Amino acid sequence: MTTSRRLLLVNGPNLNLLGTREPEIYGRETLADVERLVTETATARGFEVRAVQSNHEGVLIDAIHAARADCAGIVINPGGLTHTSVVLRDALSGVALPVAEVHISNVYEREAFRHHSFVADVAAVHVIGEGVPGYARATALLLDVITGQSDL
């Protein structure tokens, strides 16, 4: 069990458009709503959250690397990088922190190219297709892993 009481929330490319981008798939809630939900969930368990969103893979990787110093775990929606980025997967693996992978839509019911996740094998928690509320469940499950309240 780590002594850090902070989570890193990572949102990948295009998630800054939540609320306006394809609302029939992603809903009307915004990135600010996501960040607020994760922060409320974490705060209720005595954790704080540092949030990062970028459309640039290197920015996300730098944030993940920095998390080694002061975070207990990572909640991540890599967006399209889920299906393309070996280096993002390697960054998550390399920091050796527990990871929760979350996706708003059910990627396994969408186009075939979305069915593979490079992040899946390094994540302890997977919450797929539960909309924005899935972030709260992913955060709670990750906190269970971090605090030893789960066998995941």
Query: What single letter denotes the amino acid at residue 68?
Result: R
Residue 146 annotated in ligand binding: no
CB distance 75 to 52 below 8 Å: no
Predicted local distance difference test score (pLDDT) of residue 151: 61
CB distance 107 to 114 below 8 Å: yes
Q: Assess if residue 50 is contained within a domain.
A: yes
Residue 121 annotated in ligand binding: no
Domains in the chain: how many in total? Answer: 1
Residue 105 annotated in ligand binding: yes
Q: Is position 103 annotated as part of the catalytic site?
A: yes
Q: Assess if residue 88 is contained within a domain.
A: yes
Query: What single letter denotes the amino acid at residue 13?
Result: P
Residue 114 annotated in ligand binding: yes
Q: Assess if residue 32 is contained within a domain.
A: yes
What is the total residue count of the chain? 152
Q: Assess if residue 1 is contained within a domain.
A: no
Q: Assess if residue 43 is contained within a domain.
A: yes
Containing structural domain, residue 14: 6-146
CB distance 103 to 12 below 8 Å: no
Residues 148, 79: Cα–Cα separation, whole Å: 28
Q: Across the 152 residues of the chain, what is the mean pLDDT of every consecutive 10-residue run?
A: 84 96 87 98 98 98 98 97 95 98 87 84 97 97 94 59
Which entry of 26, 56, 65, 116 is annotated as an active-site residue?
Answer: 26
Q: Is position 26 annotated as part of the catalytic site?
A: yes
Task: Check which CATH number belongs to the domain holding 12 and give it.
Answer: 3.40.50.9100
Cα 31 to its chain centre, rounded Å, is 12
- DSSP letters, the chain, are --S--EEEEEE-TTGGGTTTS-HHHH-S--HHHHHHHHHHHHHTTT-EEEEEE-S-HHHHHHHHHHHHHH-SEEEEE-GGGGGT-HHHHHHHHHHT--EEEEESS-GGGS-GGGS--SSGGG-SEEEESS-THHHHHHHHHHHHHHTT----
Q: Assess if residue 152 is contained within a domain.
A: no
Nearest to 139 by CA among 3, 1, 10: 10
Q: Assess if residue 117 is contained within a domain.
A: yes
CB distance 119 to 88 below 8 Å: yes
What predicted TM-score, i.e. pTM, was given to this entire model? 0.93
Q: Assess if residue 151 is contained within a domain.
A: no
